Amino acid sequence: MFFQGFEVKRRGELQLIKIFQSSVFESFLKGSTTEEVYASAAQVVYAALIFPLIALAIQFVLEKIRNPLVCI
């Protein structure tokens, strides 16, 4: 991912990126084998990518229920 610095700082995404990075790096300390370490990191990445998509999908459905005639 490439971000322009001022946009990241302005919208507060820099803090989100830092939290994500620290979570992933901490997950690398879990596990005693390479497979366990990668599995732990994969769980963090999965949660960071999938849960926001689910939230957006729910938000979209709720908006369609509230305003069924609005076209996107």
Residue extents of the structural domains in the chain? 5-66
Ramachandran quadrant class, 12 (left: phi over 0; alpha: psi -120 to 50; beta: rest): left
Quick: pLDDT tens for 14-39.
Answer: 777 788 889 889 998 988 999 999 99
The tens digit of pLDDT for each residue in 29-67 reads 988 999 999 999 999 988 888 888 888 888 888 888 887
12 contacts 22 by C-beta, under 8 angstroms: no
Alpha-helical regions (H) of the chain = 5-11, 13-27, 34-66
Is the whole model's pTM more than 0.75, yes or no?
A: no
Give me 40's structure tokens.
């732990």
